Amino acid sequence: MNQTELVERVLAITREIEQAAGLADWPEAARLTEARSPLLMSLSADQEPAALDMIRRIQAIDAALLADAEVTQTELQVEFEAAIGRTKAAGEYQRIARM
């Protein structure tokens, strides 16, 4: 596989990652990211202009995905903390109801 084909493959996987993240399928996004990693590592510094354009698209998609993942993580942390609070409140209710 030449460098242009390699960059095309990386871009295709990046779009699959983007699709998985759009569906909030973070395990699949993580799996695809792991599969893509060795391909990224095998890219050489010398690239043709078309390949460089694709690499810029990959970088833009990755930046957007990272921002989305951070927002999702924050939202999940808030939901988790709220759920823990509700669980503690229910436990306290049960404790008092037994008295």
Model confidence pLDDT, tens digit, residues 39-84: 999 999 889 999 999 999 999 999 999 999 999 999 999 999 999 9
pLDDT at 64: 96
Q: How confident is the model at residue 25 (pLDDT cuts 50, 70, 90)?
A: very high
pLDDT at 70: 94
User: pTM of the full predicted structure?
Assistant: 0.79
Q: Which residues contact 4 (CB under 8 A, 6 or more apart)?
A: 47, 48, 50, 51
Nearest CA among 83, 85, 68 for reference residue 19: 68
CA distances from 67 to 10, 21, 55, 79, 97 (A): 20, 11, 18, 19, 45
Q: Mean pLDDT for the chain?
A: 94
Q: 58 with 14: CB under 8 angstroms? A: yes
